């Protein structure tokens, strides 16, 4: 069983008990987060595709790490023959979550 969810402008393929990182959410450690923007659910050989989201579907996750920083990315720009150089760094903030349940409301078809 797996699902494709959307959060933070990105799509993620998730399975039960999977740990993954999403764009920073305003939550605390141990909180439960429900993602209701589910684009696809596959279970027991059947696939439900939403238009754009599957009706009544949700993915329940528990927050493991409320805020962390990803590895540093160095941005270096320069203009040749003009002695113009600029070096900057960026560390993207993230929230680490663990999928507890992929749920489908009974009686709804997407």
Q: How confident is the model at residue 105 (pLDDT cuts 50, 70, 90)?
A: confident
DSSP states of 35-67: E--EEEEEETTEEEE-SSS-TTEEEEEEEEEEE
Over residues 52-65, the pLDDT tens digits come to: 999 999 999 999 99
- For 19, 67, 76, 99, the CA distances from 64, given in Å and listed in that order, are 9, 9, 34, 10
Per-residue pLDDT band for 104 (boundaries 50, 70, 90) equals: confident
pLDDT tens figures, 63-81: 999 999 999 999 999 999 9
């Amino acid at each position: 069983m797996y699902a494709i969810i959307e959060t933070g402008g990105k799509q993620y393929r998730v399975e039960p008990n999977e740990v993954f990182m999403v764009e920073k959410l305003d939550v605390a450690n141990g909180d439960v987060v429900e993602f209701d923007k589910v684009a696809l659910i596959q279970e027991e050989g059947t696939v439900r595709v939403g238009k754009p989201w599957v009706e009544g579907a949700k993915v329940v996750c528990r927050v493991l790490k409320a805020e962390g920083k990803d590895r540093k990315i160095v941005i270096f720009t320069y203009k040749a023959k003009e002695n113009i150089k600029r070096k900057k760094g960026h560390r993207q903030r993230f929230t680490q979550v663990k999928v507890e349940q992929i749920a489908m409301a009974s009686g709804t078809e997407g």
